[in-house]
C-alpha cells in the first residue's frame, strides 16, 4: 500500500473541501489576500503549508481546525 506525502494529502483535502463549498481557487485566494498562483500551488502539492496558513485556508472554506492531544 502506498501512502501519500503529507503535502499531497493536504492538497487533495483542500481541493475537495473547496469544491464541496462550490468555491473557485480565485475566490479562496482573494479571501486569503494572496495571489491565485500561490493558492494553486497549495492545491497541487507544490508547496508545503504551515499550520497557520492551513488554518487560514480552512477558515476561508468554512471549517475550523481542532487538535486534541491526549496522554
pLDDT at 1 over 60: no
Average per-residue pLDDT in the chain?
92
Q: CATH 1.10.260.40: does it fit domain 6-60?
A: yes
How confident is the model over 17-44, as pLDDT tens digits? 999 999 999 999 999 999 999 999 999 9
Specify the pLDDT at position 7.
Answer: 85
Domain locations along the chain = 6-60
45 Cβ contact partners less than 8 Å away, ≥ 6 residues apart: 5, 7, 8, 10, 11, 12
How many alpha carbons lie under 13 Å from residue 44 in its C-beta half-sphere?
Answer: 8
Amino acid at each position: 500500500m502506498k501512502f501519500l506525502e503529507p503535502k499531497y494529502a493536504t492538497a487533495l483535502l483542500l481541493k475537495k473541501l473547496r469544491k464541496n463549498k462550490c468555491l473557485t481557487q480565485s475566490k479562496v485566494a482573494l479571501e486569503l489576500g494572496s495571489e491565485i498562483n500561490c493558492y494553486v500551488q497549495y492545491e497541487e502539492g507544490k508547496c508545503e503549508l504551515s499550520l497557520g496558513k492551513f488554518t487560514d485556508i480552512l477558515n476561508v472554506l468554512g471549517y475550523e481546525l481542532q487538535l486534541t492531544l491526549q496522554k
